[in-house]
Amino acid sequence: MLQFVNRLASEGGGTADAASRLARLLETHFHKEETFAAPPLGMLPRLARGSVNPGMAADLVHSDWLRQNIDTMLAEHRMIAAALEELLRAAMPAPQAELVTFAETLLNHSRLEEEVFYPAAIVAGEYLKVLLGERAALAAP
C-alpha cells in the first residue's frame, strides 16, 4: 500500500502533494500497527492451542499499549480516510481505476482492523493474562 502511495507522490502532478501527506500518515500508522497490534495477533494460534508459557508475558506490553491507545489508532484511521478523500479529489475529474481500487481496499482494510484485528489483539492480551494468572495460581503452594 505504501509503495503505491509513494509512487503517486513521486510522479508529481496534482496528486503528488496529497499522496505525500497520505504516505506520511500511513507510514506512522503502519509502524504502530506492526509494533503494537501484530505481536498479540501472532500469539493467537498458540493461545487457541493452549500453548502458553511465561515468556509470552513480554507481548502484553503491546496489547496493553493498543488497549490504552485504541482511540488514537481509530482517529488516525479517520485522518487517513480524509487524506485519501483529498487524494481522490486531487485526481478529479477522472481518478484512475487503480487509485479508486486502492482507496476501496485501504478503507476496507481499516474497517477490518477496527472491527476484528484491534479487538482480537486486545482480547489476546487479556486472555493471556488470565491464562498466566491461572498457571501461577496452580503453581503456588
Per-residue pLDDT of the chain (141 residues; tens, 9 = 90+): 889 999 888 988 778 899 999 999 999 999 999 999 999 999 999 999 989 999 999 999 999 999 999 999 999 999 999 999 999 988 887 778 899 899 999 999 999 999 999 999 999 999 999 999 987 777 766
**Whole-prediction pTM:** 0.88
pLDDT at 86: 93
Q: What is the 3-state secondary structure (H, E, C) of the chain?
A: CHHHHHHHHHHCCCCHHHHHHHHHHHHHHHHHHHHHHHHHHHHHHHHHHCCCCHHHHHHHHHHHHHHHHHHHHHHHHHHHHHHHHHHHHHCCCCCCHHHHHHHHHHHHHHHHHHHHHHHHHHHHHHHHHHHHHHHHHHHCC
pLDDT at 87: 92
